[in-house]
Amino acid sequence: PPQICESDNCQGAGGGTVLPLFGAGEQEWPNGLRIVLYLLGLAWCFMGVALISDVFMAAIETITSQETTVELCVAGTDEKRKFRVRLWNDTVANLTLMALGSSAPEILLSCIELISNNFYAGALGPSTIVGSASFNLLGITAVCVMAIPKGESRIVEGKAVFAITSISSIFAYFWLLIILVFVSPNRVEIWEGFLTFIMFPVLVIMAFAA
């Protein structure tokens, strides 16, 4: 029978990190049967990711919705009143917990592939992260704009925060291009990874300050 893939994984025992599930003998199975089985397995995995993501996001919403009571002086008087305020700043929560919750599947996928591949990047992990980020930046933004009813408009209240996050999102792609093409082609140095990681808390601090 024809080989399903063209890499060395199809020869001998072969296989990727998880697949083929039934060893090298699976290559002898009819392609139609394998397609049906893998589609069912893919649907089952999607359902599992959806359930876990729902639980994870619900937990994050519970954490970020917590409130506390503070006493503040009323302007122009010495009178103090109690107010209910959120423990989490909305900007910090969106850039940290919410972003982690929505990006957790592709981050874990990339880490699993990287560790199992002796810290050589595969074709799946980096593409998944970059593709997901591109979709979030372009696709979701477009859908949010198109969802506004005709004749209505929306205003961005935190323009400074919006500007910082937008510029940072676009800069991230240029930064990857710089380090992977010009500074150290096809290789990520330790200092590059460390510097890239440090940029995240800097972004959170700048957005919080704005």
pLDDT in tens, 60-70: 888 888 888 88
Angle between helices 99-116 and 31-64 (to 10 degrees): 130
Provide the token pair at 172. Answer: 């991230």
Q: Check whether 194 has a pLDDT greater than 80.
A: yes
Across the chain, mean pLDDT equals: 82
* Verdict on whether the full-model pTM lies above 0.75: no
Q: Check whether 3 has a pLDDT greater than 70.
A: no
Q: Check whether 2 has a pLDDT greater than 50.
A: no
Separation of alpha carbons 60 and 97, rounded Å: 7
CA atoms within 13 A on the CB side of 33: 5
Confidence of residue 17 (pLDDT cuts 50, 70, 90): low
Q: Check whether 1 has a pLDDT greater than 50.
A: no
DSSP symbols for 31-92: HHHHHHHHHHHHHHHHHHHHHHHHHHHHHHHHHHT-EEEEEEEPTTSS-EEEEEEESS-HHH
30-34, 73-77, 178-182: range with lowest mean pLDDT: 73-77
pLDDT of amino acid 15: 61
CA neighbor of 85 nearest in space, from 61, 68, 73, 62: 68
CA neighbor of 137 nearest in space, from 170, 90, 94: 170
